[in-house]
Structure 1
Amino acid sequence: MVESHRRRARAAPHGGRRPSAGRRRGADVEWVETTAKTVDEAKELALDRLGVDEHDAEFEVLEEPRPGLFGRTRGEARVRARVRPVQPRPKADRRDRKRSGRGGGGGGRGSGRRPTDAADEASTTDEEAVPAAPSDEPARPSGEGRRGRGGRGKGGTPRRDAAQTTADRPTDGQEPTMSDDVTVEQQATMVEEFVDGLVAAFGYEGVEVGTRRIDEDTMEVHVEGADLGLLVGPRGATLQAIHDLSRTVVQRQASGHHEGRVRLDVAGYREKRREALTRFTQKVADQVKESGTAQVLEPMAPADRKVVHDTVNEIDGVRTTSEGDEPRRRVVIQPD
């Protein structure tokens, strides 16, 4: 169940740590199994389905193609993969890192990154799969877990410019950083502060920036208000760029182990995109089943490809493969 929490005031100290709600540890991470002509292609397909980078996954080769006559191969490669489980660090090592990471003064906030969740909103072959950027959505009333941006010019202390949180940071090693485990809540707080400053730099009024929990491993920083199309951009390109910048901010302010992941959404764009892409994929899958002819979709980001793979996986009679290299990698829906 989605739950929200209110951010602390900007002047509040950040010395305390919140309870950890990081990724599940151990062997309960779900495995996915893929087949392809080569082991590398099977691994790429598995990464698409998991929606993560290669260094965040572990693989097990179940079967390799066998050499045949005249240099040909027989059979297919079969691979299974899963998101790499997080192993707890020894307590002694944690204490050593905690002492070394906190010796330069307090105030450093921990954060982290999960590159798996950062996908740009790519084009598809059907207009239904590309919802228009929101432009006239009315501002929602302020609620728990959100921070309003109204009344900024009435004597309040101005926030730091968004650029100060990235480019103007000292580089002489004196900036305090957290080198212990960094919880997903701490990461979300850092992303929220960065986005809040960026929204101010854009000159928006009456816009709310807040956080909410999606599941045990995931929190979302969301921006709500009117006329936010500028923050979304064509097919989500600007939203993806802001997401990438927020990950950079997190990396610069934390050097410890990062738990969970934080995603960013503006005016509900990503959810609308996901729903539209699911409908589009179902439509194309039906066409493939009727015609018996494979269809190649336009290049997509990893997160969008994962939506396509997951949708087709629930439909009998069709299957998916991926072809090409980033950023032009695409999904092929073909008869099973």
Structure 2
Amino acid sequence: MEWVETTGRSVEEAMTAALDLLGVDESEIDFEVLEEPKTGMFGRTKREARIRVRVKPNIPRSKDAARRTRRRRERPGGSSERTSTSNERPTASNSSTHTSSNGRGRSEAASINNEKNNYEKSDVVEERETPAREVSNERNGRRVPTKMTEEDYQDEVEEAIPLVDQAGAAQEFLAGLMREFHIPGQISVSSMEDDQISIDITGDANFGLLIGPKGLVMASVQELARASVQNRFRRANARINVDIAGFRERRRTSLEAFAISVANQVKVSDRQKALEAMNSSDRKIVHDVLNDMEGIFTRSEGREPRRYVVVSPRPWESNGDSEDFDRDRDR
């Protein structure tokens, strides 16, 4: 049997693929691990496992054993199955030879001998194929208990993942990220409530690399932490907020002051102003601080990631535009 190579995210996965391909049980194969799997920085598969597998060769029977088996089949006192066959074939052969008078007897006898050889070959094939089917059934029987029933699946779906487990997974990911960037710091969970997890990263190090301009890198780190938790827990549904070195509070204070300044300019000029593109969190800060400001109205326009806030003079209450604008706000 020739070697067959398969790959997978793990050696076990590659082995399962090989067994499915060959249709045999694990006890009937020889295998070698050619390459071990290798993972990247964020737990993603950098290199798959690679193995080669073959079915264990069968030891051929000796010629003497094959002859003895053939003689035993041809004896009248053999097994009941062979006896019935041998009793039927000579009868057909004798009748054909006896009724032939112009040489047809030899041809019919030769055809019967060929038919006999075909019978013997088909018996050998059946003897070889039957163990393969039995092994396949054994594999199926071994795998059936591992399949999840509908009732087990419903129980698993209904089971909720505790927030503390999701927070721990997020902390573990952030710790690995900071370790890869060689940035020391402390990671703590500040709050866990209403399916929201707030995580603070503090320390004396320079966190500019993790924050980025206007917090864009920090937003990406937060998204990666959320994706990592969802990869570990299929039913993770918590919102994860990551704050690094108190950047969010400083950003909020700065945005509120900037929004009030722009609103005052709009009041004086009586002309609307469009702010630069912001993420949804920053846009919400602008909406919240100017929501109750007299004579000012805000709305969001554009598409992500270039969505921005427009600050305009508040329309007259008699005009129905105000109600329509409220639907465009980032809440």
TM-score range, shorter chain: 0.3 to 0.5
Instruction: Give the number of the structure whose residues are more often helix, by fraction.
Output: 2
- Structure with the bigger RCO (C-alpha within 8 Å, sep 6+) is 1
TM-score scaled by structure 1? 0.46
